[in-house]
Amino acid sequence: MPSASPAHHGLPEHNQQSVKQQWLAILSVAVGAFALVTSEFLPVGVLNDVASDLGISAGHAGLMVTLPGIAAALAAPLLSVGIGASDRRYLLIGLTLLMIIANSMVAFASDFSLLLFGRVLLGISIGGFWATAIALSGRLAPRGVGVAQATSIIMVGVTLATVLGVPVGTWLSGLMGWRMTFLVTALVGVPVLLAQIFLLPRLNPDKAIRISDLPALFINPQARVGLIAVLLIGLAHFAAYTYVAPFFKHSAGFDGPTIGSLLLLYGVAGVMGNIFAGFAANRSVRHTLLLVALMIGSSTALFPYFATGMTGAAMLIALWGFAFGAFPACSSIWMFVVAPKDVERGMPLFVALFQVIIALGSFFGGQIVDHLGSSVLLSLATILVGCGFVMVLVLGRNVSNSLAAQPS
């Protein structure tokens, strides 16, 4: 087997590295995941600036979120299958390099078409990296660290990016403009790339992922309940949250620094939600997901009525951020609980589903905002979250964390 052969070109095997090298290697992947997903969500915080600078509507500017989501959804399964049994180390390094190129293109784009092309390249990088990194987490686990813990290390990068990407982008855009924000993100990727080049061990898979392996999570009935609930709740979130900054500007009349502060509050609350999910979802993932849906649904339902004032806006955006900070962890833990042996094979399609949610949510959210307004969008989002809540409550009633301990 390739993994048993001597290391080529001086590259060490994982078990030949020191514990320090192993920790630095997995952290380079976690930080890479953070940089990629942060890049994906940067436009949410700068939609107003991009739309104003390029003379387009906020809904049109939302294609900066939609197109990379589509590209990522396609790239996750296609790259996972297409690379065969090749060394995943080179795939991760190549996708990090692609992220740097994509963000640089956006920063220097002379028109909206070139900007969108850069965003499509970023989507390819996101889909391939996310699916590969999570699937390899067990292979990168430092000595003494379990597979679930190693997965959570990488998922922390993904989760923190989903809640911090928007406020960080808004803050940087306020300081130096939206173009420089993307350039800074590209530059951040450079040390990550160098760390991966020098620290990642050889990562030849035990066997290649086949197309027939991809639907593993969709075939499992309890995993399918979770997937549908994630689809409904995630679609509602991304449809509504992508256009929170325009809502604050046009409906509430807040200025740029105020919007940035509110989105930063969202991010801080999201970090707390991520920490909360690590404890709560490991005890009862079903009850935690129900609580997350209830908090997101309450936020979207109350937003049009109370988020036009500073106090209400701060309270609701913090509640929303806390809830969504817990959402990715709940989604992953649900799969590990109900189908632990299917997670690695099904992860590329799970990542693809998540990216489809982002793309569809931002696209339809943009259409609704442009034609019907923010209040209608938030009402529809509340209905979708309610459907997801009922799905978990009724069809997921047999899901218990004790399932993970049962022999398959």
CA distance 146 to 114: 43
Contact at 8 Å (CB) between 271 and 381? no
Dig out the tokens for 103 from the structure: 């963000």
Q: Among 91-95, 238-242, 256-260, which range has the highest average pLDDT?
A: 91-95
Q: Is the pLDDT of residue 35 over 90?
A: no
Q: What is the pLDDT of residue 405?
A: 47
Q: What is the mean pLDDT of residues 193-219?
A: 79
**Domains defined along the chain, listed by start:** 17-209 (1.20.1250.20), 213-403 (1.20.1250.20)
User: Which whole-number Å values give the CA distances from 30 to 27, 133, 142, 160, in the listed order?
Assistant: 5, 8, 13, 10
Q: What is the pLDDT of residue 339?
A: 78
* pLDDT tens-digit readout, 376-397: 899 999 999 999 999 999 998 8
Q: Is the pLDDT of residue 215 over 70?
A: yes
User: How much of the chain exceeds pLDDT 70, in percent?
Assistant: 89
* pLDDT tens-digit readout, 247-299: 888 888 898 788 878 988 888 888 888 878 877 887 888 999 999 999 999 99
Q: Is the pLDDT of residue 192 over 60?
A: yes
Burial class (CB in 10 A: 0-12, 13-18, 19+), 56: middle
User: 124: pLDDT confidence band, cut at 50, 70 and 90?
Assistant: very high
Q: Is the pLDDT of residue 96 over 90?
A: yes
Residue type, 98: L
Q: What is the pLDDT of residue 264?
A: 81
CA distance 215 to 346: 6
Contact at 8 Å (CB) between 163 and 270? yes
Q: Taking the model in full, what pTM does it have?
A: 0.73
Residue type, 147: V
CA distance 192 to 32: 6
Q: What is the pLDDT of residue 389?
A: 96
Burial annotation 159-174 (CB, 10 A radius, 16+ → b, else e): bbbbbbbbbbbbbbbb
Q: Among 48-57, 85-94, 147-156, 377-386, which range has the highest average pLDDT?
A: 377-386
Contact at 8 Å (CB) between 170 and 245? yes
Which has more confidence, 180 or 205?
180
